[in-house]
Amino acid sequence: MSFDMSQFYSVFFAEAGEHLDSMETILLDLDLANPDTEQLNAIFRAAHSIKGSAATFGFHDMADLTHVLENLLDRIRKGEMRLRTEIVDTILDARDVLTGQLAGHRDAAPVNVAAAQLITQRLEQWIAAGNAPSVPAMDAVGLSVSFILDGLESSWTKVIEAVCTELASLGTVSIAAAPVLPDQPWVLHLQGAPDEAAVRDVLEFVARDGTVEIAAQSALTLSPSANDDAYGLFEPLDVLADDDAYGFFAPLPEPPLSDETYGFFEPLPVSADVPPDNRPAVRQTNTVAHAEDTIRVGVGKVDTMINQVGELIITQAMLIEAARDLDPVAYERLHTGLQQLERNSRALQESVLSVRMLPIANVFNRFPRVVRDLAAKLGKQVALRISGEATELDRGLIERIVDPLTHLIRNSIDHGIEMPLARAAAGKPAEGTITLKALQQGGTIVIIVGDDGAGLDRARIVAKASERGMAVTESMTDAEVWNLIFEPGFSTADAVTDVSGRGVGMDVVKRNITAMGGRVDIESLAGVGTRMTVRLPLTLAILDGMSVGVGSHTYILPLAYITESLQPATHMVKQMGGVASLLQVRDSYVPIVMLHALFGIDAAVTVPEQGIMVLIEADGQQAALFVDALVGQQQVVIKSIEAHYRRVPGIAGATIMGDGQVAFILDAVALVQRAHAGLPAAA
Amino acid sequence: MSEEVELPQEYLTFLLGGEEYAIDILKVQEIRSYGSVTPIAQAPNFIKGVINLRGSVIPVIDLRIRFGLGTVEYTEFTVMIVLSLGARMVGIVVDGVSDVAQVRPSEVRPAPEFSRAVDVRYIDGLAMQEARMLILVDIERLMLSADMALVDETLGESCANQ
């Protein structure tokens, strides 16, 4: 039974992805005039690691491309070539092609082969263009063999493979030229000291009579590019050719400065004693950006752990409940033990939940590239300032926030930041600034995308909106006007660009963020800039809630929506059509939702003065929820009810209480909407 | 007698209004006592609510109410059958669980078209075993049908059509 490598693929995909990301991060950070040797080494190591594992797993297209890339990087880090913006661009493009190849292998999707060939050529051009004192000299003299194949064109690939395999016993073989037309010759290069007659013997039966030409060749004419060209064409030879070429072009694969790397991350005296060759493989994943030791675990395992810990806490609560009636003196040890258990299991729950949290740097890291590329495309000068990237967010949200944030940033560069001349005319620095900031406020993560551009144009938005047939008035507040850009089909761009001018997107951004339980707000000042603030819940798994009692039922109200709660006096409740429908809070009126009436619960408090009004706010609107009593505040683990049942109006989810009972979590946003929608009809 | 060896299939049988129904035992997750049900606001009366089944929130349906049969009372002997239908789980309350029956394909007769609590669309057939008659129910199709109001409508249709 053959050894199945595919089980390790996911590890390769994740690791290679990380290497590609760190390559990009470092490349964008490079000081071209005076590049940091350590950074150059880190990029080289990233390429080297990808090459090694790609070859191991049989992803030869990636191995081949990284091989050429590695050659270029090696020359650069040894100071044999000077870095230029164009070279960085080429390397970045190569990194993108690799990302595409990686995605292709991961999703079993077709890969753009032409792009790989093109980028390989570009990389080779740079290698060739570098003043080349170090083009490796090799003693061995080779042969250049040219011949025209007999037989059908469709069979050539197989024939050439066979020929190469045969010739490999005579020396290292590489394909220098493949025919485009049937009558053009194949040119093979043979390194080593092959016997001419032996070569003719191999070709005798496949080549057309009289077309075999063999010429001696010096090492210098065996150009590296010719060698590498072969890779894209003939995969079966890769491993062999790759290995040879590797020793040929990069005689010193271990960076001489690797000890410094070591010292950089682990300033321990021990590191000096470790010879570079013995560096554990995992060290290579440590770039400047990732200094932590990590393990990779499937999300399913973590979620199972979270569920099990939830179960443990419920069991623990049941034990405490059961032991409540026992005499504290006689059962002192039991009570002490139970208290200990409660503390330990809470701590365990927190730790387990924190496993799902990832720093938002995982999202932010990709934006320097987005900004750089887009600014260059639009001819604008834009700097990106990132802060708070260590802020942690649930991994489920991390994945889903990428697209909306990308869109907001592209929008800021495209519509917000002005052209350099316009900025200079407005007395601003030619370089615009995009600020990207994350911070935690209680149970909410706040992400701010700001720019110092022209700001939103109120008059133009209003004009465009009325042109689109939206209901607009001049008396709308700025906030209401800004919110128009989240309407489907709205776009203020004068010209439709392929960047963000199609008017699709902002509505999708808003919808996606709302779907995550978050919201987005815009602030803008003409001439000063625009600030988009995205607020997201800290995690999808737990929630800070207030449990409220209605009749015999208990509901959980998310704490984030509660502004205050109060026991209403008779004069504060205004009746409409005999139903308590408005609550006077200071100088405003808030619609009331009688929870017992909405949910059809009997035996609940119905007289407003005997219950509690909980004021909630969502989407800038308020409502007062009428309940019997506030039971207590607690963190709850959110469970889906749709997994086994279906959506329930007014209910966002469910949780399991300390006694093992299910309690429903109220959907505050829907309740507020309902309260306002019901206002005119309630009379 | 047929020469082929017939593999009997195992069914869990339960009582509902004097009739004995049988469901594929592989669809049965477990049998547990009725209790700790949290009612769902504005749900149909036969949906009793949801329970916590080892961390999952699953709905409970009282088939006696749904089909207007038997005596609807909840005592310490009231049981529910927890069904595992693909990724979904649902608890059903019945008059009583009787036993596990072995049914050979040769014993199954097509169900006649006459009025019975469970619509003939969800009945695979009748199994005659000595003195008793088992009504074989395709419980998965029945529970995921729109009649049970257990799934969101679009989803319910697509599942029922499978």
Written as one string, the DSSP assignment of B83-111 is: EEETTEEEEEE-SEEEEEEEE-GGGEEPP
Best of A636, A662, A671, A674 to mutate (most B CBs within 10 Å, chain B): A662
Highest mean pLDDT among A48-57, A132-141, A495-504, B87-96: B87-96
Q: Which residue has better confidence, A438 or A143?
A: A438
| Rounded-to-integer distance, Cα A671 and Cα A673, Å | 5
CA of B91: which chain A residue's CA is closest? A644
Q: Distance, in angstroms, between B19 CA and closest chain A CA?
A: 28
Q: Which residues contact A377 (CB under 8 A, 6 or more apart)?
A: A499
Residues of B within 8 A of A307 (CB-CB) are 55
**Token reading at A532:** 């988009």
Which pLDDT score is estimated for A579? 67
Residues of B within 8 A of A553 (CB-CB) are 38-39
Best of A314, A639, A646 to mutate (most B CBs within 10 Å, chain B): A646
Which pLDDT score is estimated for A534? 92
Residues of A within 8 A of B60 (CB-CB) are none
| Rounded-to-integer distance, Cα A631 and Cα A611, Å | 12
pLDDT, tens digit, 9 for 90 and up, residues A549-578: 998 889 999 888 888 999 988 888 887 766
Q: Which residue has better confidence, B153 or A68?
A: A68
| Rounded-to-integer distance, Cα A624 and Cα A588, Å | 12
Q: What is the mean pLDDT of residues A268-287?
A: 39
Quick check: A496 pLDDT over 70?
A: no
Q: Which residues contact A668 (CB under 8 A, 6 or more apart)?
A: A557, A558, A561, A616, A618, A652
Apex CA A171: angle with CA A169 and CA A172, to 5°?
Answer: 110
* A542 CB-contact burial (10 Å; exposed 0-12 / middle 13-18 / buried 19+): buried
| Rounded-to-integer distance, Cα A167 and Cα A355, Å | 55
Q: Which residues contact A37 (CB under 8 A, 6 or more apart)?
A: A77, A257, A260
Closest residue to B55, CB basis, from A307, A642, A651:
A307
Residues of B within 8 A of A604 (CB-CB) are none
The answer to whether B55 contacts chain A (CB < 8 Å) is yes
Which SS3 state, helix, strand or coil, does residue A471 take? Answer: coil
> From the CA atom positions of chain B, what is the Rg in Å?
16
CB contact under 8 A, B38 and A660: no
**Token reading at A86:** 């164009």
Which pLDDT score is estimated for B47? 92
| Rounded-to-integer distance, Cα A629 and Cα A567, Å | 10
Q: Distance, in angstroms, between B35 CA and closest chain A CA?
A: 10
Q: Distance, in angstroms, between B53 CA and closest chain A CA?
A: 9
Please give the single-letter amino acid code of residue A643.
A
Q: Which residue has better confidence, A109 or A243?
A: A109
Which SS3 state, helix, strand or coil, does residue A108 take? Answer: coil
Helix (H), strand (E), coil (C) string for A401-417: HHHHHHHHHHHHHHHHC
Which SS3 state, helix, strand or coil, does residue A54 take? Answer: helix
CA of B83: which chain A residue's CA is closest? A644
Residues of B within 8 A of A645 (CB-CB) are 40, 50, 57-59, 150-151
Which pLDDT score is estimated for A180? 63
CB contact under 8 A, B152 and A307: no
CB contact under 8 A, B55 and A656: yes
Quick check: A498 pLDDT over 60?
A: no
The answer to whether B154 contacts chain A (CB < 8 Å) is no
Residues A393 and A362 sit within 8 Å (Cβ to Cβ): no
CA of B57: which chain A residue's CA is closest? A641
Please give the single-letter amino acid code of residue A633.
Q
Place of tokens 């939830």: A310
| Rounded-to-integer distance, Cα A384 and Cα A324, Å | 58
Residues of A within 8 A of B54 (CB-CB) are 311
Which pLDDT score is estimated for A98? 87
How many contacts does A have with B, using Cβ atoms within 8 A?
75
CB contact under 8 A, A646 and B39: no
pLDDT, tens digit, 9 for 90 and up, residues A607-657: 888 889 999 987 678 899 999 999 888 778 788 888 888 888 888 889 888
Q: Distance, in angstroms, between A617 CA and closest chain B CA?
A: 23
Place of tokens 């078209």: B113
CB contact under 8 A, A600 and B41: yes
Quick check: A243 pLDDT over 50?
A: no
CB contact under 8 A, B40 and A648: yes
Highest mean pLDDT among A50-64, A121-135, A334-348: A334-348
Which pLDDT score is estimated for A231? 44
Closest residue to A644, CB basis, from B49, B90, B155:
B90
Please give the single-letter amino acid code of residue A207.
A
Q: What is the mean pLDDT of residues A585-591?
A: 87
Quote the DSSP letter at residue A136: P
Which pLDDT score is estimated for A3? 55
CB contact under 8 A, B40 and A664: yes
CB contact under 8 A, A656 and B52: yes
Distances (CA, A) of A170 to A32, A166, A167, A413: 45, 8, 5, 59
The answer to whether B59 contacts chain A (CB < 8 Å) is yes
- In chain B the first and final C-alpha atoms are separated, in Å, by 34
CA of B143: which chain A residue's CA is closest? A645
Tell me what the pLDDT averaged over chain A comes to: 76
Closest residue to A661, CB basis, from B38, B43, B59:
B38
CB contact under 8 A, A648 and B152: no
Alpha carbon of residue A330 to chain centroid: 57
Weakly modelled stretches of chain B, pLDDT under 50: 1-3, 154-162
Closest residue to A663, CB basis, from B38, B89, B149:
B38
Q: What is the ipTM of this complex?
A: 0.84
Q: Distance, in angstroms, between A599 CA and closest chain B CA?
A: 5
Tell which phi-psi region holds residue A172, choosing left (phi > 0), alpha (psi between -120 and 50) or beta: beta
Q: Which residues contact B102 (CB under 8 A, 6 or more apart)?
A: B8, B9, B10, B11
Q: Distance, in angstroms, between B108 CA and closest chain A CA?
A: 32
Dihedral sign for Cα A271, A273, A275, A280, please.
negative
Highest mean pLDDT among A155-159, A496-500, B52-56: B52-56
Best of A321, A594, A645 to mutate (most B CBs within 10 Å, chain B): A645
| Rounded-to-integer distance, Cα A148 and Cα A187, Å | 9
Quick check: A5 pLDDT over 80?
A: no
The total of other beta-carbon atoms located within 10 Å of residue A54's CB is 24
Helix runs in A273-419, H state only: 299-323, 332-355, 361-364, 367-378, 395-411
Residues of A within 8 A of B58 (CB-CB) are 644-645
Q: What is the mean pLDDT of residues A526-552?
A: 84
Q: Which residues is A591 bridged to in the sheet?
A: A582
Nearest to A229 by CA among A271, A185, A188: A188
Q: What is the mean pLDDT of residues A580-591?
A: 84
Total-model pTM: 0.51
Q: Which residue has better confidence, A603 or A5?
A: A603
Inter-residue long-range contacts of B148-151, CB under 8 Å, 24+ positions, other chains counted: B148/B61, B148/B66, B149/A646, B149/B43, B149/B44, B149/B47, B150/A645, B150/A646, B150/B47, B150/B59, B150/B61, B150/B88, B150/B90, B151/A645, B151/A646, B151/B88
Quick check: A288 pLDDT over 80?
A: no
**Token reading at A454:** 């022209």
Residues B86 and B151 sit within 8 Å (Cβ to Cβ): no
Nearest to A417 by CA among A369, A378, A461: A378
CA of A637: which chain B residue's CA is closest? B55
Interface of A with B (CB under 8 A): 307-308, 310-311, 314, 553, 598-601, 639-651, 654, 656, 660-664
pLDDT, tens digit, 9 for 90 and up, residues A322-379: 888 888 888 999 999 999 998 998 889 888 878 888 889 988 988 998 899 889 888 8
Quick check: A245 pLDDT over 60?
A: no
Per-position b or e across B128-140, b if 16+ CB within 10 A of its CB: eeeeeebbbbbbb
Which pLDDT score is estimated for A7? 65
pLDDT, tens digit, 9 for 90 and up, residues A432-478: 999 999 988 766 789 999 999 888 888 888 888 888 777 777 788 88
Q: Distance, in angstroms, between A397 CA and closest chain B CA?
A: 22
